[in-house]
Amino acid sequence: MNKQGRIISDPQEIKKAMAGRLEYLEEISRMCSNSIKRAPQGSLRAYRHGGGFQYAMQVKGGNPGITYIPKGRRDHAAALARKEYDQKLLNSAAAEGKILKKALSLYPNLLVGDIYDSLPEGKRALVQPLDVRLVKKMIEKYYS
């Protein structure tokens, strides 16, 4: 379905939508990679404390313990939280992008709607083409 809730049944539109989604995911990946490069080292831990939270960080390879982040350094905690979020976005975009790249590489050059037109004229005269409108109605009925 597209943004308007309409079912996309035209193969070229589907392919275009997949390519557009892949481009969108690649842009997200670029943005997240740049953000992660600028982020501070370490990972964030959040602990419920009273009516709020306390934050601590842990750095691999450095101090093996956990270091409390004081209230005055909440920007540091926010940067670590953002880094974790961006890493999850990057992983998800990479997984989805991999699937879309595979689907696009497997997409046939000759699509179902083009087969009739690709037949020689003499054969087209003998074949009744598939009524695409009927198929679209069946699909819309199925999804409604």
Give the tokens for residue 96: 């989805």
Give the tokens for residue 18: 């997949």
Question: So what's the pLDDT on residue 138?
Answer: 78
Half-sphere exposure of 139 (CA within 13 A, CB side): 12
Question: So what's the pLDDT on residue 124?
Answer: 87
For the chain, the domains span 112-144
State which H helix or E strand residue 54 sits in.
Answer: strand 52-58
Question: So what's the pLDDT on residue 132?
Answer: 67
Q: What is the pLDDT of residues 10-34, one digit of tens each?
A: 778 888 999 999 999 999 999 999 9
Low-confidence ranges of the chain (pLDDT < 70): 1-6, 9, 62-64, 132-133
Question: So what's the pLDDT on residue 11?
Answer: 77
Question: So what's the pLDDT on residue 93?
Answer: 98
Question: So what's the pLDDT on residue 107?
Answer: 85
State which H helix or E strand residue 51 sits in.
Answer: none
Question: So what's the pLDDT on residue 108?
Answer: 81
Report the alpha-carbon distance of residue 64 to residue 53 in Å, rounded: 22
